[in-house]
Amino acid sequence: MIALLATALVAGLFFVLYDDFNHLSGVQRERVVEKQIFFDQMVAMKSDPLRRLVLDYSFWDDMVKFVARPDPRWAQGNIDSNFASYQHDALWIFRPNGELVYSVNRAGKGLEHGAPFPLPTGDMGLLFAAKEKFTHFFVATGQGVMEVFGAGIYSPGNVERRGEPAGFFLSGMLWGRAHIGELSYLTRGVVML
């Protein structure tokens, strides 16, 4: 009788421990999912100025005109000036055939024109998935990992951005130590590339 009682007690204890372990495993999985969602939200928040820059500047009649007839003075007043407002490190404007029209990047405390694009540009359509008007990707550069947003350039009258774009507007932000450190701080974790 004591052996039967001891066996039942051990079996009951085993069941309770097994149930607790499964519950804790479920809680841990939920925490991992929550942290991933939170991290994704923090990355989106940090990337939002770059995304907004591309959305704003790619949907502008003056940009359509600029791609057709580049004017360096207009570019310096209207494109270069955005480096003070948006958090980005480089910017490229292409014609539909992939010809680079204008580029500028942050160089120390100033700006440098003629920044090369970190990918082949022969067919800009390859950077944009079929039927997509926007692109977003990360690329390794000589300065580190860069996040890039891009969009076809359209007139604001073409609200749905139908048809062939007048060109392509892309902008990039380097994920340097400060950026990664801030993400680590915000997410209370360790972010490494």
CB 67 within 8 A of CB 97: no
125 lies in some domain = yes
34 lies in some domain = no
pLDDT of residue 162: 82
141 lies in some domain = yes
Cα gap 49→15, rounded to integer Å: 53
Helix (H, G, I), strand (E, B) or coil at 92: strand
| Listed residue (154, 125, 145, 131) closest to 54, CA to CA | 154
Cα gap 153→175, rounded to integer Å: 26
pLDDT of residue 164: 85
Per-block mean pLDDT, blocks of 10 residues, the chain (193 long): 73 72 71 68 74 91 95 92 84 91 87 84 67 83 89 87 89 82 73 67
Q: How many domains does the chain have?
A: 1
101 lies in some domain = yes
Q: What is the DSSP string of 116-162?
A: PPSS--S-GGGGS-TT-SEEEEEEEETTEEEEEEEEEEB-TT-TT--
149 lies in some domain = yes
What is the pTM (predicted TM-score) of this model? 0.77
pLDDT of residue 90: 93
44 lies in some domain = no
pLDDT of residue 12: 72
**Alpha helix stretches (DSSP H) within the chain:** 2-57, 61-68, 72-78, 177-187
CATH number for position 152: 3.30.450.20
190 lies in some domain = no
59 lies in some domain = yes
Domain membership of residue 84 as a residue range: 49-185
Q: Within 10 Å of residue 72's Cβ, how many Cβ atoms?
A: 11
